[in-house]
Structures are given as structure tokens and as C-alpha cells.
Amino acid sequence: MTTETITLQIPEILYQRLVNTANATQRSIEEVILHALQVGSPPQWDDVPEEFQADIAALDKLDDDTLWQIVNSRKTAAEMKRYDSLLERNSNCTLTESERLELMALRQEADLFMLRKAQAAVLLRWRGNLVPTL
């Protein structure tokens, strides 16, 4: 892992809190600061499946209004009906090959859709927005 060095001026009271924490936990001030940065950083996306990482990572660059649009987005009734129909036919083992491929594509699309919604909500919350839980 590569590292970068920065110089940062922080208020004395914050510095003292970090020093006190370092002393109390018998850790270096650097460890405490790094931990505080990691905990306070934007939510990570690198634990999502690799095929979705680029889409999820791109959310970091979006403004709040666009993130709210993602959080509030819904699948249409027609999309859900088709998905449910394919799922039912799959459970009955009556899918054609083309329907099986369609179901696989829809399942991947649904996974990405939900991951995007969840990550957008987490980003909004991290940015200080009140995001209701459902």
C-alpha cells in the first residue's frame, strides 16, 4: 500500500482529544488519526462484487440531488411483473433458454439497482442528510 504525507492544521482542542485518545489506548497519534479518517471517510464500495464496482464507485462523484433520485427510484410495475413471471416459471422449471438468459440479466440488473440505491442512501447519510430507513 502506498502512502501520502500531508500537513494539516487542526484546532488545538481537536488535537488534544486525539492525543488523549492515543494515550488512553496506548496507540500512536498517527494510528488514532488514521483510524478517525477511516471511520469518518465516505463509505467504501470495494466490498461489492467486482462486476458492479465501477458503477458503485461512480456514485461518489454525484451531487445530492442525483443521489436522492437514485434512492427514490422504483422499478415499473411492468418490469416487476415480468421478473416475477420469469421467477415463477423458473421455479416450475418451464423456462426456455432465452427466458433463462433474460432472467439472469434481469437478476443482475436488479442486484445493481439495489446496490446503487443502498450506496446512494449511505452516501447521503454520510454527507449529513436525513435518510429514512424502510
In a domain, 131, yes or no: no
Which residue is listed with cell 421467477?
Answer: 87
In a domain, 117, yes or no: yes
In a domain, 97, yes or no: yes
Kindly state whether residues 72 and 97 are assigned to the same domain.
yes
Q: Is 129 helix (H, G, I), strand (E, B) or coil?
A: coil
In a domain, 75, yes or no: yes
Cα 120 from Cα 59, distance rounded (Å): 7
pTM, two decimals, is 0.75
Which residue is listed with cell 478517525?
Answer: 36
User: Which domain covers residue 92, as residue numbers?
Assistant: 50-126
Residue 103 pLDDT greater than 70, yes or no? yes
Kindly state whether residues 116 and 57 are assigned to the same domain.
yes
pLDDT of residue 133: 78
- For 17, 18, 114, 123, the CA distances from 40, given in Å and listed in that order, are 16, 14, 24, 12
Kindly state whether residues 102 and 62 are assigned to the same domain.
yes
Cα 83 from Cα 76, distance rounded (Å): 11
Angle among Cα 80, 121, 128 to the nearest 5 degrees reads: 160
In a domain, 133, yes or no: no
pLDDT of residue 27: 92
Kindly state whether residues 25 and 77 are assigned to the same domain.
no
pLDDT of residue 76: 96
